[in-house]
Structure 1
Amino acid sequence: METWLAILLIVVALIAGAALGFFLARRYMMNYLKKNPPINEQMLKTMMMQMGQKPSQKKINQMMKAMNNQMK
């Protein structure tokens, strides 16, 4: 086998492996974040209380809906 062909195959394999790894990692993280959202209603309520706001359930629901829409 010629040297340039071996080098070309190695480079192609590295690029293909990097691309496949990127997409698999991205898919895994999207599924993980969908199952375990980074913020929930209780955390949102606590943050609003720390900022000096009295959170109503309506306001919490609006903010959760906006964050869920942003994730999609």
Structure 2
Amino acid sequence: MPIDTATLETRLAEAETALHALLMGESVTVTAYDGHRTEYAPADETRLRRYIQSLRRQLGRRPAGAMSRPVIF
């Protein structure tokens, strides 16, 4: 069953908040949705970044920091 855009947006916002908390030094951050709870520790930063990229792809967004490449002939 596909996930609606509002749910994906909520999950993305929560994941980005969790990443920010990790980068600011919190030892563990938590995201929760649909009865699932996931904890992220500093060692999980890469896993959390991948999750954020996955959510952005599902929403049709380019990854943060992605730049257009010029066309060279």
TM-score w.r.t. length of structure 1: 0.31
When Rg is computed on C-alpha atoms for both structures, the one with the higher figure is 1
More strand, by proportion? 2
Q: Point out which structure has higher relative CO (alpha carbons under 8 A, 6+ apart).
A: 2
TM-score w.r.t. length of structure 2: 0.31
More helix, by proportion? 1
